[in-house]
Amino acid sequence: MGRYKRIDGRKSSNYCSTSTIIIVVVVSACIIWTCITVSSLADSTRSFSTFVGFAKDVKPHKVGKIDSKAFQYNLGDLPQDGLKGNVNQVSEKDESDLKQQRNEKAFQEFDKFGELDKEKLEKASSDDDERIVSTKRTVDSRMDEAAKHTEDNSVSSTEGDDTPLMNQQESEENMDASKIKTDEEEKPRVKGSNGTKKKIDQMKDEGNSQSLEQVIVRPDEDKAARKNVAERLSMDQEELLDETSTQTGAWSTQAAESDVQKLSVKSSSKDQKAYRWKLCNVTAGPDYIPCLDNIQAIRKLPSTSHYEHRERYCPDEAPTCLVPLPEGYRTSVKWPKSREKIWFGNVPHTELIEFKGHQNWVQVSGSYITFPGGGTQFKHGAMHYIDFIQKTVPAIAWGKRSRVILDVGCGVASFGGYLFDREVLTMSLAPKDKHEAQVQFALERGIPAISAVMGTKRLPFPAMAFDVVHCARCRVPWHVDGGKLLLELNRVLRPGGYFIWSATPVYRNDPEDVIIWKAMSKLIKSLCWELLRIGKDKVNGVSAAVYRKPTSNDCYYSRTKNYPPLCQESDDPNAVWNIPLKACIHKVPTNPSERGHGMPIKWPSRLEKPPYWLKGSEAGVYGKAASKDFIDDYNHWKHVFAKSYYNGIGIDWSSVRNVMDMRAVYGGFAAALKDLKLWVMNVVPITSSNTLPIIFERGLFGIYHDWCESFSTYPRSYDILHADHLFSDLKKRCNFVSVMAEVDRILRPEGSLIVRDDAETIAEVENMSFSLQWKVRFTFSKDNEGLLCVQKTRWRPSDVETITSAIA
């Protein structure tokens, strides 16, 4: 109290002591100050909403003194002490002297910015977003000072899986959110938080300073940057949450087409406020994939001759436990260095190294796993092999005509990893077998891959999706069972697409290879595929046969023997969810306006223009003409990313590589990220409109999935998960706790979840994030719509739950 000179100078009375008067005056001043700042916050909230696109035509308004130079919307590190200052003063003359003395310490970090200039503030509409946090921090600071700092709100958590080898960033981001103390009555909230704690003012320790940075601006940025912020905040951004209410209409869904998956209807408990997480006790440990590690179901299979044991068998109840971290886990190596080496502690498997080390696939080098060569077929590097294929058949035209590739039996996915240098996007596919870590290696390297098998069911891709299918010693018995597996490739390969086969039967004369070559040649001829050329790679000592799928049905009709037979008209080639394979050929589309009749335009033009077969006379997913729907969706996501996601929600995109859009629709979100060095797995839920063919047509890729089940990927696969109006639907038919457990499973530590949904769902996800001890980087709700960005930490629970179906 010594610094409040005006109060200290008063004399005592006969009725109360000097100290009592001082306390009364200070408390009264704090209450007045709180009321004023809360009132200011109400106005600030309205202005702040323009940044995330919830408000329209919001005009900047005048507030107290502030230095406009101190404001630049930036994610850089603002000194933590600087957050304690009140940069949103109300200039009441009759209280100015008292407040100046009372706030002297709180302002010391901002004194260096010079005198506060009221005129500059009136011109800086971009300053509105700052007032929310600064006001809230001021209230906290005043309350702390009045209590003489008797309560320390800073807490930190030391993660049990951290090792001495972790870098500084990892250790700083491990915090225990469950220990955060807040004063709910004193701290203002943003509308729509539905009773959840507001994150931007919760933690005062060093680790939480990052949570505040997305709504804090730096004082030392240039004028051009400040002007850019002002323009962003003043423009109409109401459309940031548009284009999210879809209409099924004439669009069929994968669930309807397949008519196999029976959706369970499990309502989430709306009044559930506390979640008690447990650690999964399973044989697979940190690599647990629920639908691929259902050991009980696999044991009951009558046969495994067709790789049935590598297919999906989801538990009756989706797990709600959390997968443990490997001991010594570190933040993944950034791309493109990750293509050459990864941390051994992140994927601590030596089986593949021991089995394939002599083939120059993978080696252990100190704390790293390195990938010096490429694969069995390209020991001297994948780029040479890629160029060899181009020379063999120049019409393949990597990155122009051939954009979306399926690599079957991908190994560690070096082929797909280096095709990025040719502007080619590769879906790498391999089963979880004796080389079980291969797909995990690929994902850790930053290369797209899924764990799947050519078994008894159709692959989760639409018909005529891929420009090229590649198999380099993939060990798939294409010729058996009437050619079912090769016929499945025929289904997913677009007319005029290429099949590249560089297996040993192509260039070796061993008895077994000769038998396979003859059987394959007969089968491929009956499929009417044209053998363009067999090229020889002298450097790697291999050869590759390149085939082309027909663009008409003439050859099918002229065959002397109808084998394999043509599929019945009732057989929908786009119905794939849990559909068994069939040994038949789907005819090529003959209508010029039908998908698959012609080739897409070359990349990158195909990304931005609607496919020729997307008819303007038909309604799109959002109710507009289909072609306009497509264009508007693309423009919408470009706007959202540029004005909000890129530098407004606390994500460092330079460290992002593996991204998943959990409800992709047209793939507009992925298209908006085209200039970044990352890739996006576009997921189309089986109950959503079947738009996955459009995603492939524009040169992107994706997969069908039911989010009531686990995804076919290893834990810790993705840096970012994006869920646009998905969770509110899943709450109606899934156990939402298991959905969040799955999100935790596939998201990397320090990875981010972006959720756009109704306010109730946002609040529920926010509560669950608290219970998972994740950091909330950004949250905002208005008019029953919300945006939330949370960051996963390395916290793991101490309690354990045994999953009996996953115990060997």
Q: What is the pLDDT of residue 135?
A: 38
| Eight-class DSSP state of 322 | B
Q: Is the pLDDT of residue 196 over 70?
A: no
Residue 752 clears pLDDT 60, i.e. is over it = yes
Question: pLDDT confidence of 22, banded at 50, 70, 90?
Answer: low
Average pLDDT for 652-680: 98
Question: How does residue 437 score in pLDDT terms, banded at 50, 70 and 90?
Answer: confident
For residue 567, what pLDDT is reported? Answer: 97
Torsion of CA 283, 806, 342, 703, to 10 degrees: 170
Q: Which residue's entry shows tokens 């972006």?
A: 754
pLDDT score of 117 more than 50 = no
Least confident of 62-66, 339-343, 508-512, 695-699: 62-66
User: Has residue 301 got a pLDDT over 90?
Assistant: yes
Average pLDDT over residues 194-205: 36
pLDDT of residue 247: 55
- pLDDT of residue 266 exceeding 70, the answer is no
Question: Is 94's pLDDT higher than 80?
Answer: no
Give the pLDDT score at 54. Answer: 35
Q: Would you say 724 and 246 are in contact if contact means Cβ atoms under 8 Å apart?
A: no
Flag whether pLDDT at 679 surpasses 80: yes
Query: What whole-number distance in Å separates Cα of residue 439 and Cα of residue 713?
Result: 8
State the chain's mean pLDDT as an integer: 77
The whole model's pTM is what?
0.72
Concatenated DSSP letters of 254-282: HHHHH-----------TT-------EEE-
Residue 570 pLDDT level (bands cut at 50, 70, 90): very high
- Distance, in Å, from the CA atom of 191 to the CA atom of 148, rounded to the nearest integer, reads 31
What mean pLDDT is predicted for residues 463-491?
96
Please report which confidence band the pLDDT of residue 361 belongs to, taking 50, 70 and 90 as the band edges: confident
Mean pLDDT of 441-469: 97
Range 608-620 average pLDDT: 91
Q: Residue 621: pLDDT above 80? A: yes
Mean pLDDT across the stretch 128-151?
40
357 or 219, greater pLDDT: 357
Q: What is the pLDDT of residue 380?
A: 78
Name the percent of the chain lying above pLDDT 90: 60
Whether 223 has a pLDDT exceeding 90, the answer reads no
Q: What is the pLDDT of residues 230-248, one digit of tens each?
A: 344 334 334 455 545 565 5
Specify the range with the lowest mean pLDDT, choosing from 401-405, 483-487, 743-747, 778-782.
778-782
Is residue 103 scored above 50 in pLDDT? Answer: no
Task: Provide, rounded to the nearest whole percent, the portion of the chain with pLDDT above 70.
Answer: 65
Least confident of 86-95, 243-252, 706-715, 776-785: 86-95
Q: CA-CA distance, 615 to 252, in Å (whole number)?
A: 16
| Cβ-based neighbour number of residue 10 at 10 Å | 11
Higher per-residue confidence, 102 vs 32: 32
| Confidence at residue 244, expressed as pLDDT on a 0 to 100 scale | 56
The angle, 0 to 180 degrees and rounded to 10, between the axes of the packed helices 484-492 and 511-526 is 50
Predicted pLDDT of residue 363: 87
Which range of 127-136, 472-481, 682-691 scores highest in mean pLDDT? It is 682-691
Task: Give residue 779's pLDDT.
Answer: 94
Q: Which of 181 and 351 is assigned the larger pLDDT?
A: 351
Peptide bond into 564 cis (omega under 30): yes
Per-residue confidence band for 747, with pLDDT thresholds at 50, 70 and 90: very high
pLDDT at 274: 80
User: Confidence band (pLDDT; 50, 70, 90) for 411?
Assistant: confident
Tens digit of pLDDT for each residue in 35-79?
Answer: 554 444 444 433 333 333 333 333 333 333 333 332 232 323 323
pLDDT confidence of residue 375: 66
Per-residue pLDDT for 426 more than 70? Answer: yes
Q: How confident is the model at residue 25 (pLDDT cuts 50, 70, 90)?
A: low
Q: What is the pLDDT of residue 349?
A: 86
Output the six-digit token pair for 520. 């394959």
Strand bridging mode 530-537 / 542-548 = antiparallel
Whether 516 has a pLDDT exceeding 60, the answer reads: yes
What residue ranges define each of the domains in the chain, with the CATH number in brackets? 5-154+203-236 (no CATH), 249-288+604-803 (3.40.50.150), 337-445+465-557 (3.40.50.150)
Residue 505 or 179, more confident: 505
DSSP secondary structure letters along 95-145: HHHHHHHHTTTTTTTTGGG-S--HHHHHH-GGGHHHHHHHHHHHHHHHHHH
Is residue 97's pLDDT more than 60?
no
Which DSSP letter does residue 766 get? H
Contact 250, 746 (CB under 8 A): no
DSSP-derived 3-state class of residue 451: strand
Strands (E), 413-518: 425-430, 449-451, 466-471, 493-501
Residue 422 — very low, low, confident or very high, per pLDDT cuts 50/70/90?
Answer: very high
Between 201 and 634, residue with greater pLDDT: 634
**532 or 61, higher pLDDT:** 532
Q: Is pLDDT at 524 greater than 90 in this prediction?
A: yes
Q: Checking phi first, is residue 194 left (phi over 0); if not, alpha (psi -120 to 50) or beta?
A: left
Nearest alpha carbon to residue 175 among 153, 192, 191, 197: 153
pLDDT, residue 327, reads 94
Cα 58 from Cα 50, distance rounded (Å): 7
Q: Find the mean pLDDT for residues 391-412.
A: 96
Residue 377 confidence class, pLDDT cut points 50, 70, 90: confident
Identify the helix (H) or strand (E) that includes residue 790.
strand 785-791
